[in-house]
Structure 1
Amino acid sequence: MGETHELSQEEWQTLRTQLAGLHLVRILSENAMAKSAVLLLSKSPLSIPSGSPEEFISQIECAEAGCLSLLIVEKTPFSPEDFGRIITLPSMETTTPIAVNDIYARLLSHMSSACKLSYIHPATTTHIRKHIPAPFVKVTETPAMYAERVLPYINSLPASRTLWITKIIAREAEANDILGYFDATSPTASDGFILVPDSKWDRVTLANLYLLVLAANSDLKSLRDLRGHHIPFLNRVKNEVEALVKRMYGIEATSLRLYCHYQPSYYHFHIHVVNAQTEPTGGMAAGQAHLLEDMINNLELDPEYYSKKTITYYLAGQHDLFSVLK
């Protein structure tokens, strides 16, 4: 997610020209289950020899600043109109059988479908690293490891990494996308937050509903910063978001999954809101996702729970933090 605004016709034509002139450098990843792929693009033809991920990153760092871009391609879900066409496919000459066994038949057919294109332009090596497949390594982070290694890493990150969030909260960007803006309940409270659609959601398919809660309190970086006095804030998020989603989309609270990641993709506290019917893969997997109800309960048991707890998680070998933890 990043800063967006309504494009004028002139701006749109300029952007189209920039993006249309990009060259494919490498397919960074493909996900058959998610029907998605990530492509590395460049302003001019660029040849990077095959090698280890670190050698690849080293080559990229030598490239001209601002010349690289990422394109994330995702096939969109079927539309109601698609189903009318799908049932006619068996009669098409382009449809061929794969296998037939008793009552089961599998066929291969072709039909045009929409896809969502998400660009990061220009892309930094941090953006690129995130999309290079790498083996995940289990990390058991003690409170001492957090204080001595992880926290200094978080504090070293430039504010520009989360500037897009700051602008959304200040309503200087993506103002039209904000679904709910919840100010602090009092001048001394730090329980304000906003609710926006996540860029992963097409904003149409309710089965794939994906929203994002962004805390107004910039001092909250991650799960580790939560203390007992944040319980009212977390309860407010739970109650307000559940009510708003019910009102806007007709989805009951019992059909929502609210959670945060540790480690997160960016260090400004945020909570993911998804339809519980969505297959729990990727960021919803054990070792990364922490349910909101569990966070509240843990803090009720011990207000210092997350400052005392040893947390086990899985980190990609290309993550910047991985070198700090070695």
Structure 2
Amino acid sequence: MASVEKASDEATYVNPKKFKSSNEEPKESKKYSVHESLKDLSKFQLKRVLNNNAQKKLLCVEGTFADHDGAAIVLLEKKAFVEEKLDEHLFNESSKLSKEFENDVYGNYNCFPSIEHNSIKTTIIHPAMEKHIAKFENQPIHIVEETPKLYEEITLPHLKKEQFSLQWVYNILEHKAEKERIVFEDPDPKTGFVLIPDLKWDGSLETLYLLAIPMLKGIKSIRDLDQSHLPLLKNIRDAGTKAISKKYSGLPASQLRIYFHYQPSFYHLHIHFTYLKYDAPGIFTEKAHLLSTVINNIELMGEYYSKATLSFVVKESETLFSKYQAHGVLSSQSVEKK
């Protein structure tokens, strides 16, 4: 459990990640949410596979839990190896081998480590809304070249109506949830932020993944950033890298990838900190914007992000795709559907 490091003695705030649509709030009932009593997956009833990514060793399925209302998403992901503990976890008598074949100097085996060193990172979303299902479902994707005009006419009205609830973010910022997971926090209302492990992180240094969440509300994405936010961005860069180096084996800033997503998965500004060698989700050019580049662009032109054309990826199953399609910007014709 991460210890909390404070930048000052002032009061602090912070909160967790439970996706809920602002228009689809579930009723308050312990029977409605499965998380209060879940101990195993025996009550999960599989409906369909949303995504099976062999490269990332990731499986995402949709289903339901017996005796609980609402759909559920279960995300299963193989963990990375921890180099510092290979002897303890793998190279011992508890790791059993089953030979597939041998040929000359080559042997092919299946290895079965002990159960305590063979866990699968599991994320469960319940009750899951249609927006969650669309988010994780494997679908044809398209790139949108979003001009400021398209942002104002299509994207902004859409996100105001369809975005997930930000209550989980405010819970973190107000210390109502995940307080024990906070790695670092600066409570300043204008330049402060909370540094907290991303839900996708399995805890190993090789897959380090943290989120910096500003205390300041009302900044939806990089589209809203201007020169007035430079002190906030620079503080997140400097204090965030210092806190990570202090807590995680002296990891230097030069081995961190620090970036925004556009479009983000939720519309309270946040910055991703990942280990540079880790191929984290969403690090590609059509999604990620390095913090250093964002700072530089704003220093060159204060209103850069309100005037720039920004690219982003959208799935055909998403409502935003339908809206861009209705405006004649996108077509659903796809090689994957032929």
User: Shared fold (TM-score greater than 0.5)?
Assistant: yes
Q: Which secondary structure state, in structure 2, belongs to the residue aligned with residue 121 of structure 1?
A: strand
Among candidates 150, 175, 178, match of residue 174 of structure 1: 178
Q: Distance in 1 between matches of 2:215 and 2:183?
A: 15
Query: Does residue 84 in structure 1 map to residue 94 in structure 2?
Result: no
Of 128, 138, 149, the residue aligned with 1:123 is 128
Change (3 A) 1:67 1:138: same
Is the CA contact (8 Å cut-off) linking 2:197 and 2:210 kept in structure 1? yes
Give a deviation string over 1:139-195, Cα, whole Å, max 9, x none: 10001000111111122246x6111001100111111111111122xxxx6222111
Match of 1:48 in 2: none
SS in 2 for 1:15: coil
Partner in structure 2 of residue 277 of structure 1 = 277
Distance of aligned partners of 1:13 and 1:256 in 2 relative to their CA distance in 1, 3 Å threshold? closer
Q: Specify which structure has the higher proportion of helix.
A: 1
Q: CA 1:88–1:70 in 2, change beyond 3 Å: closer, same or farther? A: closer
- Who is 1:108 aligned against? 109
Q: How does 1:299-314 map to 2 (within 5 A)?
A: 299-314=298-313
Partner SS, residue 47 of structure 2: strand
Q: CA deviation at 1:43?
A: 3.3
5 Å-filtered alignment, 1:158-169, equals 161-169=165-173
Query: What secondary structure sits across from 1:77 in the alignment?
Result: coil
CA gap of 1:14–1:215, structure 2 versus 1, over 3 A, is closer
Equivalence for 2:75: 72
- Name the structure 1 match of 2:293: 294
Alignment-derived partner of residue 334 in structure 2: none
Distance 2:242 2:125 in 1: 33
Aligned twin of 2:148: 143
1:230 aligns with 2:262: no
Q: Which amino acid in 2 is paired with 1:120?
A: I
- Are residue 38 (structure 1) and residue 60 (structure 2) matched? yes
Distance across 2 between alignment mates of 1:86 and 1:312? 52
Distance in structure 2 (CA, Å) of the matches to 1:126 and 1:320: 9
Q: For residues 40-83 of structure 1, what are the alpha-carbon distances to aligned partners after superposition, in whole Å with 9 as ceiling and x for unaligned?
A: 121359xxxxxxxxxxxxxxxxxxx9421111111222352233
- Cα contact 2:233–2:295 (8 A) shared by 1: yes
SS of the residue corresponding to residue 223 of structure 2 reads: helix
**SS of alignment partner, residue 190 of structure 1:** coil
Deviation at 1:248, TM superposition (A): 0.5
Structure 1 13/128 Cα, relative in aligned 2: closer, same or farther at 3 Å?
closer
Quote the residue 1:214 is aligned against. Answer: 213
TM-score, length of structure 1 as denominator length = 0.81
CA contact (8 A) 1:191 1:217 kept: yes
Separation in structure 1 between the aligned mates of residue 320 and residue 262 of structure 2, nearest angstrom: 12
Partner of 1:29: 51
For 1:38 and 1:299, locate their aligned partners in 2 and report how far apart those are by CA, in whole Å: 38
Contact 1:66 1:123 in 2 (8 A): no
Confirm or deny that 1:183 pairs with 2:187. yes
13-22 vs 234-243, which deviates more? 13-22
Q: Helix, strand or coil for the counterpart of 1:282?
A: coil
Aligned to 1:62: none
CA distance in 1 between counterparts of 2:142 and 2:239 reads: 36
Gaps of at least 5 residues in structure 2 are 1-15, 19-32, 326-338
User: Secondary structure of the equivalent of 1:130?
Assistant: helix
